[in-house]
Structure 1
Amino acid sequence: MNLAQDTFIQILNRHVSDGSLRLVLEGKSLTAGAKERAPAVTLRIHDDRFFSRVLSQGNLGMGEAYVDGDFSVEEGELHEFLTLLLRNRIDRKVRGDPRTALKVLRVQLGNKLSGAQWRYVQRHYDLGDELFESFLDESMTYSCGYALSPEDSLEELQRNKLDRICRKLELKPGEQLLDIGCGFGGLLIHAARHYGVTGVGITNSQRHAERGNENIARAGLAGRIRVELRDHSTIDGRFDKIVSVGMLEHLPRKEYRRYFSRIARALAPQGLGLVHAIGTSAPTNTHDPFIQRYIFPGSGQVKLSEVATHLERQGLAIRDVENIVRHYHYTAKHWLTRFQQNQHRLDPKRYDAAFRRLWEYYLHCCVAAPLASDGTVYQVLFTKDYAAPMPLHRV
């Protein structure tokens, strides 16, 4: 047993107290973790470098090992293994265990000194509609849904979310709605169709603007709502209600002030606004290296304290804050299932086997993180009028 393999198994045995897993390697099977518990998942290790990659690079190494076929899941699901690691706070426990931390450091230094370059080379795909159609619902809504029941379909999750946002904003017929970062226009269409609003969505994606307006035309709403290709920094006009879903986490922090100041300037005197964003409840904003390299380069996890500070500075009063992160688990499970069912239909020249495994690993992370990480999905409702009537109960 080499140093990396020995250290990895020691970490599991010493620090996994809530659950266990089975490893199959070199023709042998062993159980690690809390051995009195039945293994949640079985991993078959195909290449010993798996251990060095994970110890050296954490989730980035794990993801690249999965893409390269260094291991496979024989029983259970990959996201169950990831949840087990997150739930047991392995990274924190290792940092607090000097003996184990020193062994991990030796593995990391050994990789650097040997010149090991076990990185999967990033491929720059123009991620087209075909990929997202393989796992999203018909509205192409790419954000956390809302479960009224664990059995809700993906369509129901997204419809629940859209309707709940509209009710939080207290939308009324004839009101003007601005949707910042509107995607393909799903929220705008729902709000116009069911609440009688007119409005504008803005996006900096040419494809989102084109398809969003096509969707609006098919819904027979072209005279009431539209999607414009423009940046948040160009917001002008006056709106009764403003919403932004899944936008803030993609802005650099230096843009937060301008983002919230534009919202404050555009919101009517008695208006309501809602920001929905992936965030963190941790004191420091730790960027997952796998997500940063391969999925959302430059993205961040917003802290609630940052949102509150900027709203306060713009004179916007917080009316309600809700963390709906657990609902992301149900949403992502549907995404993962649909992707697994449909990925064979993707053009192999554009989305090769390695890319499909990379995207599948990402979706497994999305299923695991809402259950056991410090991640959050905040919905922050605010108003321009401190004295505006406030309902006794949240939606």
Structure 2
Amino acid sequence: MNRTFSNFVSSHITTGHLILTFPNGSQTIFGDGTGPTVAARIKDQRTLRRLTTNPELAFGEAFMDGTFQMEEGSIYDFLELVFRNTRVEELAGIPGLARKAFGMFNRWTGYNSISKSKSNVAHHYDLNGDLYRLFLDSDSQYSCGYFENDGDSLEQAQLAKKRHIAAKMVMKPGQSVLDIGSGWGGLGLYLARHFNAKVSGVTLSEEQHGISNARVKASGFDKQVGFHLRDYRDVSEKFDRIVSVGMFEHVGLSSYDEFFGKVRDLLTDDGVMLLHYIGQSGRPSHTNPWVLKYIFPGGYMPALSEVLPVIERQGLIVTDLETLRLHYAETLRHWRQNFLARRDEAVALYDERFALMWEFYLAAAETAFRHQGLVIHQIQIAKRQEAVPLTRTYIEEAEAELRAQEAPVRAVPRQAMAKQKVGATG
């Protein structure tokens, strides 16, 4: 088994310096010896067998269980080395066959009903809200920030993200807005504050629903902003603007026609939608099985080739498309560093295995955005070509106006964030 696994690893790891210690105590070195040393130990034969046959699932589980232990470097260093060398869709041997079989099964079961969607959302977003306050910004934005300048803080990037999205929505004062997957309400409150918008948000998370409405009441916008525990498919009224940030990944591949058909029905004739989601820059590829099992059940990150034809089929027009490449990698870097700085508090909230799971999740997500072709797609959608200006200059102009209205961003101590009863916004 040592030889089989070693042959598999050596066929993929060609650069870097990786040392693996096997259950019998033997060691094998992989790579060309360049860069910092990354060393790990596989503690038992069962873990070795699982890593040999299904590494996409087994590495995360073994790290959580303590049977795959880092001895030099961190789990981030290990995943960065692996992902820098190998695209997962190019896995060879038995792991490659296991990946293809799982991909086929995942596509067959890709429809998320209302009840299944609620269960999937609860798995991740109804966790103890104090967990998210360990690593998010002061507004607890749980989606990709927008880094306008080198050295921007997480606070600056998350404010810039809201500003960038609002500018692309071509907002006018007093318009009605539907926020699909409204999270803990930060974006909806931003639109109400700067555009006097009438915002209706929908979420399937009970945790998000309670906290977002508490934030509305505290903000004084309760007469024009409301968040509802409701599936987007149950909404019937029309809106001038629709926005969805970080929710489309949970729709499910088989549900795309249903999603965009509903968007078409809910938009006014001159309406505009801004869709922001995690996508793939290459050809379609299924979600990692460990992520599906432990982090985002029912999640799928589509390629543009899977999204654009559905938009067209539903009679909608793509009026703008932007790809944000390494913005999420930088966002996740901040989150990972913040989490590790307060890791003991995560252990106190849950346990050591949960903290290991979260550490693996943040490291895997960041390295995937750096090396595995994950990106953010922002698609502006309308029913009529005339719904948005002819050139993109309006985006920078709107951002400049919003920037002048916003309060200066200051650094928020992590201890102060821990006391704030606010959470993430999709």
Shorter-chain TM-score bucket reads: 0.7 to 0.9
Going from structure 1 to structure 2, the CA distance change for 1:103 and 1:247 (only over 3 Å counts) comes to closer
Q: Which moved more, 1:183-192 or 1:72-81?
A: 72-81
Residue aligning to 2:379: 380
The equivalent of 1:33 in structure 2 is 31
What is aligned with 2:252? Answer: 252
2:386 counterpart SS class: coil
Range 306-315 or range 39-48, more displaced: 39-48
Equivalent residues in 2 for 1:315-334, closer than 5 Å: 315-334=315-334
Determine the structure 2 residue equivalent to 1:148.
148
Q: CA distance change for structure 1 residues 250 and 218 in 2, over 3 Å: closer, same or farther?
A: same
Distance 1:256 1:16, change over 3 A: same
In structure 2, runs of 5+ residues without a counterpart are 98-122, 397-426
CA distance in 1, matches of 2:150, 2:391: 28
| Residue from 6, 15, 34 that aligns with 1:18 | 15
- Matched residue, 2:365: 366
Distance 1:270 1:49 in 2: 60
Residue matched to 1:120: none
1:221 Cα shift?
Answer: 1.6
Match of 1:43 among 34, 40, 43: 40
**Partners of 2:242 and 2:267 within 8 A in 1:** yes
- Specify the SS of the correspondent of 2:308: helix
Normalized against structure 2, the TM-score is what? 0.79
The CA deviation string for residues 202-227 of structure 1, in whole angstroms up to 9 with x for no partner, is: 11222212110111222222122111
Q: C-alpha separation between the residues in 1 aligned to 2:131 and 2:291? A: 17
Aligned-pair CA distance for 1:11? 3.3
* C-alpha contact (below 8 Å) 1:7/1:103 kept by paired residues: no
3-state DSSP of counterpart to 1:244? strand
Identity %: 35
Structure 2 equivalent of residue 118 of structure 1: none
Deviation at 1:8, TM superposition (A): 3.0
Q: State the aligned residue count.
A: 367
Aligned equivalents of 2:229, 2:12: Cα separation in 1: 50
For the 8 Å contact 1:86–1:373, the answer to whether it is kept is yes
User: Given residue 376 of structure 1, which amino acid in structure 2 is its aligned partner?
Assistant: V
Q: State the secondary structure of the residue aligned to 2:354.
A: helix
In structure 2, distance between residues paired with 1:39 and 1:376: 27
Q: Which residue of 2 aligns with 1:190?
A: 190
Q: What does residue 110 of structure 2 align with?
A: none
Counterpart-to-counterpart distance in 2, 1:236 and 1:243: 16
| Equivalent position of 2:103 in the other structure | none
Q: Is the 8 A contact 1:150 1:330 kept in 2?
A: no
User: Which stretch shifts more, 143-152 or 362-371?
Assistant: 143-152
Alpha-carbon distance in structure 1 between the residues aligned to 2:96 and 2:288 = 19
Q: 1:296/1:103 Cα in 2 relative to 1: closer, same or farther (>3 Å)?
A: closer
**Structure 1: gaps (5+ residues):** 96-100, 106-123
Q: Could you report, residue by residue, the CA deviation over 1:275-314 in whole angstroms, capped at 9, with x for unpaired residues?
A: 1112223433312110011111111122312321222123
The equivalent of 1:108 in structure 2 is none
SS in 2 for 1:299: coil
Q: 1:347 to 1:27 in 2, by over 3 A?
A: closer
Structure 2 counterpart of 1:365, one-letter code:
A
Distance change (3 Å), C-alpha of 1:34 and 1:208: same
Q: 2:303 & 2:339 partners in 1: Cα distance?
A: 30
Distance in 1, Cα, partners of 2:206 & 2:36: 48
| SS class of match (2:385) | coil
**SS across alignment from 1:73:** strand
Question: Structure 1 residues 104, 143: closer, same or farther in 2, change over 3 A?
Answer: closer
Shift of 1:14: 3.5
Offset at 1:104? Answer: 9.2
CA drift at 1:380: 0.6
What is the match of residue 225 of structure 2? 225
Tell whether 2:243 aligns with 1:243: yes
**Number of the residue aligned with 1:121:** none
> Aligned partners of 1:311, 1:93: CA distance in 2, in Å?
30
Q: TM-score, normalised by structure 1?
A: 0.85
Equivalent position of 2:82 in the other structure: 85
Alpha-carbon displacement from aligned partner over 1:173-227 (angstroms, at most 9, x marks no partner): 2122111110011101111222332221111222212110111222222122111
Distance 2:12 2:168 in 1: 43
| Cα 1:378–1:77 shift into 2, 3 Å | same
Give the number of the structure with larger relative contact order, counting CA–CA contacts within 8 Å between residues 6 or more apart: 2
Structure-to-structure mapping, 1:151-300, within 5 angstroms: 151-300=151-300
